[in-house]
Structure 1
Amino acid sequence: MERSLETQVGQAVDAWLRWLPRWEPATHRGRTAPCRRCFGSPILSAVGLGADVPHGVQHGLSTRIKTIVDHAVATYTAQNLPMLQAELDQQAARNRARSYRPMEGLEPEYEGLPLDPDPTPGAPFLFTISGLAQEMDAAVPALPPLSAEAKAALRQEVGLADDYANLVGREVCAILLHHRLRVQSAVTEFVEPQVDALLSELSQSLDAPFDPGEPRLGGLDAER
């Protein structure tokens, strides 16, 4: 029996809450481009995860909820949109033909993130994971072209699928409002202390920029 949308959302939030105590702040250089999945997400707004919450915390929840919406749209598409379903089936078969699929099988916390870190100016990569994936993709034959009539019909079905996704998304956001307090409580317990510790460490390093063993500028001036 298909689980209700409310049950699926509750289980997704439960899974995120079980993962959250294992979260640790990233120590690598941050990205300049915002995450398209999380930036301005109504899902995150519904549970009160604003810009002051680290992206890794946001992404773990938004990805889990997006999976629910995607599954609902996939079921609707299979039952009501035959042309779009056929196109998706062809694309899925093409994807399975690729020998290298680095975006598959990832944990929710990493789904949708860029495969490679931002390059350092003046230090190009010898190779990138996304580049290797593109090479494998180029070796797979492209899908057959569609006629103008088929393209028009497909665009119409895509529009219907988008409308249904928006409908499910609004319902999911309404359900998430009931989980808002426990999500924020978990952030207060597990996330904020780590962020505060990082800020405290940063402020200490800024207050004492010199090594304690090194003479300060004032000391040098005093000896002159």
Structure 2
Amino acid sequence: MERSLETQVSQAVDAWLVWLPRWEPATHRGRIAPCRRCFGSPVLSAAGLGADVPHGVQHGLSTRIKTIVDRAVAAYTALNLPMLQAELDQQAARNGTRPYRPAEGLDPEFEGLPLDPDPVPGAPFLFTIAGLEQEADAVVPALPPLSDEAKAALRQEVGLADDYANMVGREVCTILLHHRLRIQAAIAEFVEPQIEAMLADLTSFLDAPFDPHDPRDG
């Protein structure tokens, strides 16, 4: 029997809570562009993860919840939207022939993130993972073109799939409200102490940027 949405959301939160103690603040340079999956996400709002929570923490939960919505939409599409399903099947078969698929099989904490770090001005990359993926994709034949009638019918089915995704998303957000207390308790236990320690280290460095025992500073 298919698991209910309540069970799936509860299990997703459980998995995130198991992962959370392993989270550590990133020490590398932050990204310039916001994450399209997490920025302004109603899922994160429902979970009580505001802008003051590090993105890595947010992303691990939002990706797990997105998987639930995606699976529900996939099941709905398979049952009710034959044209869209056929198009998705063709695209999946095409993707399966690509020799290089670096974005597949990632842990939820990394799924959907850019494959490469932001470039540093004046220091171009010799190659990028995204570039290698595009090169691999270029050698795979494109899907056959659709007629105007088929395009119109496909757009209608895509609209129905979007409506269903929004409906499931709203229901998932309602369910997440019941998990806010344990989510916030975990943030207080595992995340906030690390952030406070980082701020304390930064404050100490700003108060004494030079080593008082260094004779060069005399």
Normalising by structure 2, report the TM-score: 0.98
1:210–1:216 contact (8 Å) kept in structure 2: no
Q: Who wins on radius of gyration, i.e. which is larger?
A: 1
1:175 equivalent in structure 2: 175
Amino acid at match of 2:130: S
1:222 equivalent in structure 2: none
2:62 equivalent in structure 1: 62
Deviating beyond 4 angstroms after TM superposition, the runs of 4 or more aligned structure 1 residues are none
Distance 1:80 1:197 in 2: 52
2:20 equivalent in structure 1: 20
Distance 1:144 1:73 in 2: 25
Q: How does 1:144-159 map to 2 (within 5 A)?
A: 144-159=144-159
Q: How does 1:87-166 map to 2 (within 5 A)?
A: 87-166=87-166
1:110 CA drift (Å): 0.3
Secondary structure of the structure 1 residue equivalent to 2:24? coil
Unaligned runs of at least 5 residues, structure 1: 220-224
1:213 CA drift (Å): 2.7
Distance 1:215 1:209 in 2: 14
Secondary structure of the structure 1 residue equivalent to 2:12? helix
Normalising by structure 1, report the TM-score: 0.95
Distance 2:34 2:47 in 1: 20
Distance 2:137 2:146 in 1: 20
Count how many residue pairs are aligned between Structure 1 and Structure 2. Answer: 218
Percentage of pairs with the same residue: 83
Secondary structure of the structure 2 residue equivalent to 1:116? coil
1:216 CA drift (Å): 8.6
Unaligned runs of at least 5 residues, structure 2: none
Secondary structure of the structure 2 residue equivalent to 1:86? helix
Distance 1:180 1:91 in 2: 38
Distance 1:14 1:35 in 2: 23
